[in-house]
Structure 1
């Protein structure tokens, strides 16, 4: 069998395993390809695999449980998958943060390349807002003061207009002080390396906070999203949240 045919067969097998909920089996099949033919062969397959299938594998692994997909996925492939994460309706966004940290802060990665790729896509800022959802007040403080101390200690937050009009500000803390391979480092990189994306992300966070104050659940403000392309809700262990409905529209929407 030719290499192309083998790769097509692997894509079909991986897709079927994910549809059946066997994420470990899908990741194992991809790992076997990397072991047999090298990392470049796997990267070719990942470029042909649907973003939702790449996401299904990546979100089940973190730094403590490495996946060959997380280690090799490119910034563009990762961004296309990440913007679909909200369809899993993971209200705590635990999987999202673990996945993002494992990929963006891997040893060979340039986090800014990943952030730039995320910012280039519709839904990128929303995905980052979901990543920071549990740390909203600390991100507000960082926007106002350059530190992560409680924002109420420094008076009112910047208005949306003030935030948009704010100029470049020298960092009050060094990157080394927040190099935690987690949300603080991510926020620092966004504010000082990807300023426009940081502002957009914070505006989305504010919109989500206003919706919460109005008693709206996440998604209520966008009823058009309630379609057959969403993923099953799951708040259970890793490996349990799998796509419920799979349509070709998801790839074309990226």
Structure 2
């Protein structure tokens, strides 16, 4: 166990220093020397943020021993704090989720259930689907991902739960892409509570974004009125533009 404690400290130090590859290499050496079970014990001792730091560096060109062995519970504890990275594109999140949930011989529902059991799980999954909100709404309402059939109305929370138990209009095999469509299908028909909570979070995020955009537009209109009043011909002076750039930084 003392060797494991030393390895844990070494891994944490490497991650803190930004050497994620070095940390993963140290864990791989443990698995090679003592077996997968020893690595799983160490992963359970590592802080979720450290496990996350390794998991999210998913590289499709190679396999990660951590992503291959992480348990649903370890995965869930890590994914609920992924938002700390403030990755606006959620590219790392999607790659990490797909590589682990759909890994060979894994049970995707077990991973989704573990995520749904934790506070912040629905938010993490909403971030995963952030770029697909319209398609997810269409899927919730019509049972297909085709937005052509979407009429703009959104199902209530009660209706969402009811539709989750309805017979699928598409079978899993039709969307078995090991990506967002298959994950959405599994959530809707195998983890309906998580699907509903995720979609409600997505809607809240969309509303917040819409309100933020409106606030920015109103602020821009107000700035324009101030500039018209305070400067010649309604244009800001070069000095004023420099001040704006500095304040933005």
Whether TM-score is above 0.5 comes out as yes
What corresponds to 2:57 in structure 1?
60
- How does 1:76-91 map onto structure 2 within 5 Å? 76-91=73-88
Give aligned pairs, total. Answer: 213
Higher RCO (C-alpha 8 Å, min separation 6): 1
Are the counterparts in 1 of residues 15 and 53 from structure 2 also a CA contact under 8 Å?
yes
Q: Say which SS state the counterpart of residue 88 (structure 2) adopts.
A: coil
Q: 1:215 corresponds to which residue?
A: 212
Tell me the secondary structure at the aligned position of residue 104 of structure 2: coil
CA contact (8 A) 2:141 2:150 kept: no
Matched with 1:174 is 171
Q: Which runs of 5+ in 2 are unaligned?
A: 214-249
Root-mean-square deviation (CA), in Å? 1.4
Tell me, yes or no, if the aligned pair for 2:126 and 2:199 is still in contact at 8 Å: yes
2:108 alignment partner in structure 1 = 111
How far off is 1:168 after superposition?
2.0
Q: Report the equivalent of 2:226.
A: none
The question of whether the paired residues in 2 share the 8 Å contact of 1:190 and 1:198 is answered with yes
2:69 corresponds in structure 1 to 72
The alpha-carbon deviation at position 160 of structure 1 amounts to 4.0
Decide which of 124, 127, 130 is 1:130's aligned counterpart.
127
Residues 1:87 and 1:77: Cα distance change in structure 2 (over 3 Å): same
Supply the distance in 2 between the matched residues of 1:106 and 1:164 (Cα, whole angstroms).
28
Q: Indicate yes or no: 2:45 matched with 1:45.
A: no
Residue equivalent to 2:99: 102
Q: Distance in 2 between matches of 1:80 and 1:198?
A: 18
Look up the match of 2:146. Answer: 149
State whether residues 82 and 93 of structure 2, in contact with CA within 8 Å, keep that contact through their aligned partners in structure 1. yes
**5+ residue gaps, structure 1:** 217-254
The structure whose Rg is larger is 2
**Cα distance in 2, alignment partners of residues 166 and 67 from structure 1:** 37
Residues 127-180 of structure 1, C-alpha deviations (whole Å, 9 max, x = no match): 000000010100000000000001664452223453355562100001000000
Cα offset, 1:61, TM superposition: 1.4
Distance 2:59 2:102 in 1: 11
SS of the residue aligned with 1:148?
Answer: coil
Runs of 4+ that moved beyond 4 A: 164-167
What residue is the counterpart of 1:24 in the other structure? 21
- Equivalent pair of 1:144/1:157 in contact (CA under 8 Å): yes
Answer yes or no: is the 8 Å Cα contact 1:79–1:118 preserved in 2.
Answer: yes
Match of 2:238 in 1: none
Alpha-carbon spacing, 1:123–1:215, altered in 2? closer, same or farther (3 Å): same
1:142–1:17: structure 2 CA closer, same or farther, 3 Å change rule? Answer: same
1:5 partnered with 2:24: no
